[in-house]
Structure 1
Amino acid sequence: MSSKRVVITGASGLLGRAVLAAFKNSQWTVLGTSFSRTGEDLVSIDICNHAKTEELIRNFMPNCIVHCAAQRFPDKVDKDLDGTIRLNVEATKNLAVLAAKLGATMIYISTDYVFDGTKPPYSETDTPNPLNTYGKTKLQGEQVTLESSQDHIVLRVPVLYGPVEYIGESAVTVLLQLLFDSESNKLVSDSEIRYPSHVDDIAFICVKLLELKQTNADVKGIFHWGGKESMTKYGMVQDIASVFQLPMSHISPDPNQSQGASRPHNAQL
């Protein structure tokens, strides 16, 4: 059996699609899972159903799993905490334990939101202190992943952008809607500093980590990867307006934090 067999959860999502394509282009045998969509290399399954998930993965027998599936919108987490815990923590633990039993390596995609944003930039050895429930559930996911096997990998990444299927799929592209809605004046946060990262870059990192892992057992534990450009939401809107040549006279910078779930001021990785 090939040593390049990978299961990708959340493979129909913003990051998952890029990860799926990157592994296929690197000549891996891939199986992607999604909650509702099916297609080439894509199987519909609820990964919170542990029995069916285990059956699917055992039948495929991967030597790697990339776990992209998550509830990743902080404001939605607070509205469905039980569902978020099932997906972000319990399903993660099940996958990590199963991977360990099969002798497979799992990459768990985590977030810069595990940090409180008070002392950037953060290294892999800095102590997490998440401010919101989303960050807390992702940190719990990290913990159950690494407790399941010391050979597993946690990859922390910041806010992501890339080819979207709808404008709200990315926290970056959703800002375009503010430029379209020009009938009323709007305030946009110019407070929290983010480091937008393209999904193709994250996908490339996932492939390289697992290919290195096959020849170097020391590739394990926590890794950070993020873009170098620092931007607030208002700064992102300015760049988007420039690219698409859209007026933004109706948008003003807001020095206050974004409304909703608490977010770190600067969680640079």
Structure 2
Amino acid sequence: MKILITGSNGLLGQKLVQLITREGKHELIATARGENRLPFEKGYIFESLDITKEAEIEAIVKKHQPEVIINTAAMTNVDQCETEREDCWNLNVTAVEYLIKASKKHNAFLLQLSTDFIFDGEDGPYDEEAEANPVSYYGESKLAAEQLILESKIDWSIARTVLVYGIAHDMSRSNIILWVKKSLEEGKEIQVVDDQWRTPTLAEDLAKGCLLIAEKKAKGIFNISGDDLLTPYEMAVKTAEFFKLSQSSMTKTDSTKFKQTAKRPPKTGFILDKAKRELSYKPHTFEEGIKVLADQIK
């Protein structure tokens, strides 16, 4: 099967390229805006692609004729989306319109990545049938992209995920595990929120879930996340325990103490029954996820 990935320089994009090239069963076209930042070049073709430019999408899809397109490219910084709304909409919504058009024209199956932030967090964890009600512009943009796909006449799937964590090459963004580990090792005082709940997702698990969908061309909406419903404080405690670090400089707090541009849903998280049943999806526990990261740090 020929698979094209957008956003291959990002965390999920990198994990997908690693997974697909390691398995060696599919032809892979990795695309990203700008230069290829992956640390290896074998097993795939790289094309520079800005998905906010319709002509570029059409040219690349026409050239390679992929059977499946996996769209991992997005503006995911929730506060940035709130302040840079036009850029957010262009990347998260308009670009999806262009991908739908190209998928229709060249008969490709489109897998779109989405988020728990389409929900208001009043009634989590959620299944695939739950009613969306975003509380941030980021959530609105991702829901608008979902609606475009639902209304399209193409073969499609939507993979919704939650709080993705992992380590990738040449990436500046940290994650809660690395932040807690570094802070506690340095003896820094940290406050961690204990009134929000998520099912944190190991990037490798999300990549595997996406590949399972792609290989089956499984149509519809799938929740692809971790299975453990935790607060950030509980994640921090598990991290400290794993690395055998003192928790004396760590205190729990609530989200009202932090000034953030965008509102966050209090309790999301996903019910994974459908993905387990239809895709045989099996995520790591959060403790297992910490161990995966620990091995990568070494």
TM over 0.5: yes
| Number of residue pairs matched by the alignment | 260
Match of 1:216 in 2: none
Match of 1:102 in 2: 106
Deviation, 1:57, is 1.6
Assess if the C-alpha contact under 8 Å between 1:93 and 1:148 holds in 2.
no
Equivalences for residues 102-121 of structure 1 within 5 A:
102-121=106-125
Deviation, 1:141, is 1.1
Moved more, 18-27 or 103-112: 18-27
Match of 1:190 in 2: 194
Identity of aligned residues (%): 29
Moved more, 87-96 or 74-83: 74-83
Match of 2:6 in 1: 9
Q: C-alpha separation between the residues in 1 aligned to 2:172 and 2:78?
A: 17
Q: C-alpha separation between the residues in 2 aligned to 1:81 and 1:150?
A: 28
What's the secondary structure of 1:265's corresponding residue? coil
Match of 1:266 in 2: 267
Are 2:35 and 1:34 aligned?
A: no
Q: C-alpha separation between the residues in 1 aligned to 2:34 and 2:246?
A: 38
Q: C-alpha separation between the residues in 2 aligned to 1:225 and 1:186?
A: 30
Assess if the C-alpha contact under 8 Å between 2:6 and 2:70 holds in 1.
yes
Q: 1:101 to 1:195 in 2, by over 3 A?
A: same
Deviation, 1:124, is 1.2
Q: C-alpha separation between the residues in 2 aligned to 1:108 and 1:21?
A: 19
Q: 1:141 to 1:253 in 2, by over 3 A?
A: same
What's the secondary structure of 2:246's corresponding residue? coil
Could you tell me which amino acid in structure 1 is paired with residue 253 of structure 2?
A: D
Assess if the C-alpha contact under 8 Å between 1:161 and 1:173 holds in 2.
no
Q: 1:45 to 1:176 in 2, by over 3 A?
A: farther
Equivalences for residues 120-139 of structure 1 within 5 A:
120-139=124-143
Equivalences for residues 79-228 of structure 1 within 5 A:
79-165=83-169, 166=171, 168-170=173-175, 173-179=178-184, 182-183=187-188, 185-213=189-217, 219-228=218-227
Assess if the C-alpha contact under 8 Å between 1:14 and 1:169 holds in 2.
no
Deviation, 1:177, is 4.8
Assess if the C-alpha contact under 8 Å between 2:100 and 2:154 holds in 1.
no
Could you tell me which amino acid in structure 1 is paired with residue 249 of structure 2?
A: H
Match of 1:22 in 2: 19
Q: C-alpha separation between the residues in 2 aligned to 1:236 and 1:250?
A: 15
Could you tell me which amino acid in structure 1 is paired with residue 5 of structure 2?
A: I
Q: Provide Cα deviations, 1:31-79, integer angstroms capped at 9, x if missing partner.
A: 1111223263332222111112211121011011000001111112123
Q: 1:175 to 1:46 in 2, by over 3 A?
A: farther
The gaps in structure 1 that reach 5 residues or longer are: 214-218
Deviation, 1:234, is 1.5
Q: C-alpha separation between the residues in 2 aligned to 1:113 and 1:173?
A: 23
What's the secondary structure of 2:173's corresponding residue? helix
Are 2:242 and 1:237 aligned?
A: no
Q: Which portions of structure 1, spanning 4 or more consecutive aligned residues, are displaced by more than 6 angstroms?
A: none
Q: 1:101 to 1:162 in 2, by over 3 A?
A: same
Could you tell me which amino acid in structure 2 is paired with residue 264 of structure 1?
A: P
CA RMSD, Structure 1 to Structure 2 (Å): 2.0
What's the secondary structure of 1:121's corresponding residue? coil
Match of 1:252 in 2: 251
What's the secondary structure of 1:168's corresponding residue? coil
Assess if the C-alpha contact under 8 Å between 1:114 and 1:128 holds in 2.
yes
